[in-house]
Amino acid sequence: MLGTDCGSALPTRLRQAGLEVIRRKGWLVERWATAPRFTHDYVRDLLAYFASVAPGYALPDADQAYWRELRERPDRLIDDPDFCYREFFVVAVCRI
């Protein structure tokens, strides 16, 4: 499964699948406050997921407290005037 963090691994996976990678390009996309509704909702759901799995990790108490608070009030982070969400996209051109 590729997942949301596979960008830089994409050319390797394509090569392993038998394709010849001709060129690849990556670029960073930044989404700053005030986040559009679709970004706000996506990041809120992403934070909810991370907060739900945090108790299963051996994190310091302060980190666990941070994730608990974020689970209860995710908008606190997303609505911050300095909020920034970054994504990295990769396009790979291949041939068989």
Taking only the tens of pLDDT, the chain with its 96 residues reads: 566 667 778 888 899 999 999 999 989 999 999 999 999 999 999 999 999 999 999 999 999 999 999 999 989 899 999 999 998 888 899 999
d(CA 63, CA 57): 10
d(CA 13, CA 6): 9
Given this model, what pLDDT does residue 11 score?
87
d(CA 76, CA 1): 32
Instruction: Write the DSSP assignment of 30-93 as a string of letters.
Output: EEESSPPHHHHHHHHHHHHHHHHHGGGS---HHHHHHHHHHHH-THHHHTSTT-EEEEEEEEEE
Q: How many residues does the chain have?
A: 96
Given this model, what pLDDT does residue 88 score?
85
d(CA 58, CA 93): 41
